[in-house]
Each structure stands twice: as C-alpha cells, then as structure tokens.
Amino acid sequence: MSDDTTNQPARDQQVSSFAKSMFAGELPDELVFPFPKLSRDESRKVHGLIDSAHEFLDDSYDPALVEQERWVGDHIIKGLGERGLLGLYVSPEYGGQGLSQTGYCRVMEEFGGYDATLSVVMGVHQSIGMKPIHMFGTEEQKARFLPDLAAGRKLAAFGLTEPNAGSDAYHVETYAERQADGSFLLNGEKRWIGNGAKDVVCVFARCENGHVALIVEKGMDGFEAPHRFDTLGLLGNDLRKLTFNNVRVPKENVLGEPGEGFRIAMSTLNNGRMSLGTGVVGGTKALIKQAIEHTTRREQFGMPLADFELVEDKVGWMVSYLYGLESLAYLTTGLVDAGVPDYSVESAMSKVAATEFNWYAVNRVFQLMGGEAYMADSPISKTLRDTRIFPIFEGANDVLRAFIALSGMKTVAGEFEDLRSINLSDPIGSIGTLAEFVRGQVSRRLRPASLEAAHPKLAKQAEAVSNQTRQLRGAVETLLRTHGKDVQLRQRQQKRIADAACDIYAQVATISRTTALFEDQGVEASGQERYIASSFCDRAAHRVGAQLRLVERNDDEQMHSIARLAYNRGGYTPRLH
C-alpha cells in the first residue's frame, strides 16, 4: 500500500510467504494482523475514482449494445482514460493514479460488478497487458509507453497462449532470434489474445537462452491480427489470433534481459490474478442483489420466494462465502502492499477460490430465477455465458491447484534430509520454478501454529484453524513419505491438499478482518459480521476436515480403474440386464 498505510511488517521479519509457512505448520500472524486497510488519502482517491466511473458508465455504457457491436466502444475507452481509470497503479510521473495493489483491486471490483466484459477488457489492459512494462520496463520504456496506455490513447495486450501451449506455457513455440544489433526477429503465432488487435502487446517467445519478453507494436512489419474468435460469452471482448512473420523488434523494446521472459510472464500473472479475484467479488455482489430483488418480488404458493428455506439457503450461502472470499482477496493484496516477497501461492489461491465460488453462485442465482433465466436476453443468461471462462483463463484452476499443493510440499520436503532429494523444484512448467521458501530463524517446534492476535470472541475459530494447519502439515508429510517423487503425479491428492489450504487461508483472512472490525467498532456493533464470519469459518473447517480425511481414505484406485475401463471401451458400457 502507500507509505502511510497500516499493517507494515516488522523490519526484522524474515518469513517470505504466509501460505508456505502455513504448509509448514506455522501461522506467522504478524503478516496477517491487523487486517490491511487503505490510508485515508488513498481511500478518498479510490472512492472518487469509483464515483467517477459510475457517473460515466451509468450514462454511457450499454451491455446489450456492447454484445451487439462486439466491442465495449472506443468512446468508453476514451472516457475512462480521461477519468484516470486506465492507469490506476501507474505512477503519476507517467500520468497514472499511483494506487497500491489494494486500491487498484478495489476499483477493479467495481468493473466486475458492472459488466464482466468491461471488467475483462480493463483487466487485460491493466492487470496483465501493460503490467510487464510497469514492473520490468526501463525508465525509457516506461516514459515511452505508459503515458499513452494510462490515458487510454492506446490499449495493451498480453501475448502468451499458443495453439500448442495453453496451460503448458513454458513450451511456447514462438521463437525470437537475436540479431547482431540487439534486435530480435520474431516468428510464430499466438491465440486467444484479448485486445490483440489494438496497440501494444507484450509477447513472450523462446530464444537461444530461454525466453524473452518483447514489446510488439501495432504497425510493425510482419505483425498481424488476422482472425477474431467467436466465443460463448464476453462477446464485446476483442479476442484475436496473432501472427508474427519475421517481425523485427528493436532492442529498445526488449523487456528485462533475454532469458528472463518466462519469469516476467509468470510474475505478471501472479500479480494480475488478484484483480480477477476482486472483480469476482464485485460481480457476486451484483448477483446477490439480483437474486434478492427477484425472490422478494416474485410470489409462488401464496408467499414470496424469499421466504422459502431452500431460497434462504442459497442466498445465505452466497453471502457467507462472499465474506470469506472478500477477506481472502484483500488480505492477499495487503500482503503485496506490505512488501511480503513471495505471494505466488496466495495469488493462485485467490484466483481459484474466487472463480470456483463465482461459478456456483451464478448457477444458484440462475436456479432461483427459474425459466426467466433461460431466456437468451436475460441478464443472468449473459452472466452465465460470460463467467464460465473464469476458472480457465489466467491459469486453469486444476493447474493452479497443483501449483498450490506442490509449493507446500516443497516447503515441507526441505525440512527433512531424507526428503530433500525429492525434486519439486520445477513441477509445473506453466507456472515456473518454485521459489525457495525463507522461514527465518524460528523453527516449527518452537513456534506451534496459533493465531494469537485473533479477537477473544473468535477463539473457537482461531483454535480450529490452528488444528487444521497442523493436520495439513501432517497430511503433506505423509504424502511425501508415501509417494516420494511420484507425488507430482498424484493429482487427486494435490487437489485435496490445495482445497484444504485455500479454506484454511480464507479462515485466517476472515478472522483477521473480523478482529479488525471488533477492535474498531466493538463486538456488539459488529454482530452481523460476527455471525457471517462464524458461519463461513465453521463451514470451511468442515470442508477442510473432509478433504484431509480423504487423503488417508479414498476410492482413488476405483476411480482410476473405472476411468481406464471407459477409455478402453470408448464410453459408458455397463448392461442393464
């Protein structure tokens, strides 16, 4: 966050990652208490930007027209740029707002609540498109590109995915050959690139010593965006195939050093996933409002739908889960702003938790709205089409679950001499080499898992989290000793570990947030939040217990045999007689 924000970690603090500490059986609560919040000055700026966005969009933005014309509209981009909404985290030196990660994600939440297509176009531009220039560009590159991008005079894209390199992004085939003058000759193809036909694309390609990141500009000879994809949803998102035929990219457009390209790509995605998480928060708030408006208005069997228990169950579940998700998302942005060095696992957790929850929430609201929802022109029908892609892009959730689990396993394996030989240094090429975990000088045995900073009224939930953390660590150690290096192939177990870890982290975030509310407003004044927080934590604890029990007792072998039988027979073949 900004310099005067709260929740700065102690200067002698040496833990590099809260989530990885959690896998090791520790809960370094100095990283997560107090719950992060914006400074007064930044909060005022953020609210001013949000008000400006709503004032403009309410008058100018028509989601139905966007679908019809298949683009959000150049006038929308221009208007948002004029209001400072396209360079939210960019330094004022380059025409931006200079927001923290939390401030940026708070504004992006509003886009998510307004329209998924607009949120994605904004996210492609800011969260990943121009982010590599902001994070890794030279001063000359920043001065040359960021002012136009921040003002909306140009739009940015992120060129990584290829026909043969989706989740396995490490093995991109696009190749850049270095020339004698330091330029690169780029050849290859990218696909499914949002904003791909616009102005600036950060392209990632193989080179002689690994990967290289290149800033490719519209109009360069040999660079074309010849094909626009038709998609199920997000119809106003300009999704393109990009081709590079001997495109000469000058040395002034090389980001970082040749060989660093993959690290740049993965660092960008680690950072960008957080705004997807908070965008989902905004989208789900809009969904809940839509559900309540419908169920309180519509009557069946002589009473409002809202009075039926199964309707209450759906709405209550969404509100409770959203509180936990919102807590997780903004605890993660706060870790970034506080300078915690490694937030890759927390970012992945935020993306997985948000997009999985969103999909189930959309389906529940769809169910509540009945036949009306199934009409092609209904808003929830559009939401269903728009949001199905969320668990897939910016890292498919199954791949991210494997990354989360294997990151934790690497942390635990490093503690034991007999387990260090298990090579987990690069388990998933699409995510990148797992960073070394730095714990500091306090050992697990001297520092048992506990959340000592939790409010006394949340002691039950805090103790439950402590127990779950110890159980998580034990389950990871068991898997390592049982399977050794083959644990990389045990994806069913990885999913269980990852889902349990996400729920533990979400409980920590919820306890931290609610503790801050209690201390600020008092327990009695925060009764609603206490009730919601307790419900979320208790349900999450139940899910954690179920997942960790399945680590020991499951039907994985049966599922393996059934799937292989279906493969061999080409489908479902059991007989009725």
What pLDDT score was predicted for residue 166? 81
User: Which segments of 208-293 are extended strands (E)?
Assistant: 210-217, 223-228, 239-249, 254-255
**pLDDT tens digits for range 126-176:** 999 999 999 999 999 999 999 999 999 999 999 999 998 887 888 899 999
Question: Whose CA is closest to 403, among 561, 170, 194, 563?
Answer: 170
Q: What percent of the chain has pLDDT over 70?
A: 93
What pLDDT score was predicted for residue 136? 97
**pLDDT tens digits for range 366-382:** 999 999 999 999 999 99
Q: What is the DSSP letter of 30?
A: G
What pLDDT score was predicted for residue 271? 84
Interatomic CA distance for residues 539 and 357, integer angstroms: 14
Return phi, psi of residue 553, to 5°.
-130, 115
What pLDDT score was predicted for residue 167? 78
Average pLDDT, the chain: 92
The sign of the torsion formed by the CA atoms of 272, 276, 281, 286 equals positive
Q: Which fold has domain 157-261?
A: Butyryl-CoA Dehydrogenase, subunit A; domain 2 (2.40.110)
Q: Count of residues for the chain?
A: 577
Residues 6+ apart with CB under 8 A from 124: 156, 157, 158, 194, 195, 237
User: Is 244:99 a contact under the CB 8 Å cutoff?
Assistant: no
Q: Is residue 441 predicted with pLDDT exceeding 60?
A: no
What pLDDT score was predicted for residue 574? 85
What pLDDT score was predicted for residue 435? 56
Q: Which fold has domain 36-155?
A: Butyryl-Coa Dehydrogenase, subunit A; domain 1 (1.10.540)
Amino acid at position 322, single letter = L
What pLDDT score was predicted for residue 419? 79
**Local confidence band at 421 (pLDDT 50, 70, 90 cut-offs):** confident
Q: Which has more pLDDT, 240 or 436?
A: 240
Instruction: Identify the weakest region by mean pLDDT among 64-73, 196-205, 231-240, 483-492.
Output: 483-492
**Local confidence band at 429 (pLDDT 50, 70, 90 cut-offs):** low
Instruction: Identify the weakest region by mean pLDDT among 6-20, 118-132, 168-182, 541-555.
Output: 6-20
For the record, the structure tokens of 92 come out as 């004022």
Q: Is residue 397 predicted with pLDDT exceeding 50?
A: yes
User: Which segments of 262-327 are extended strands (E)?
Assistant: 299-300, 303-304
User: Is 280:358 a contact under the CB 8 Å cutoff?
Assistant: yes
Amino acid at position 291, single letter = A
Give the start-to-end residue ranges of the domains of the chain. 36-155, 157-261
What pLDDT score was predicted for residue 15? 77
**pLDDT tens digits for range 344-356:** 999 999 999 999 9
What pLDDT score was predicted for residue 170? 85
Interatomic CA distance for residues 290 and 292, integer angstroms: 6
What pLDDT score was predicted for residue 436? 60
- Active site members: 394
Interatomic CA distance for residues 539 and 318, integer angstroms: 12
**Local confidence band at 467 (pLDDT 50, 70, 90 cut-offs):** very high
Residues 6+ apart with CB under 8 A from 521: none
Residues 6+ apart with CB under 8 A from 565: none
**Local confidence band at 12 (pLDDT 50, 70, 90 cut-offs):** very low
CB atoms within 10 A of CB 441: 7
The mean pLDDT value for 530-535 works out to: 95
Question: Whose CA is closest to 162, among 116, 119, 205?
Answer: 205
**pLDDT tens digits for range 287-312:** 999 999 999 999 999 999 999 999 99
pTM, full prediction:
0.93
The mean pLDDT value for 86-108 works out to: 98
Q: Is residue 493 predicted with pLDDT exceeding 80?
A: yes
User: Is 485:426 a contact under the CB 8 Å cutoff?
Assistant: no
HSE-up of residue 80 (Cα within 13 Å, Cβ side): 31
What pLDDT score was predicted for residue 312? 97
**Local confidence band at 14 (pLDDT 50, 70, 90 cut-offs):** low
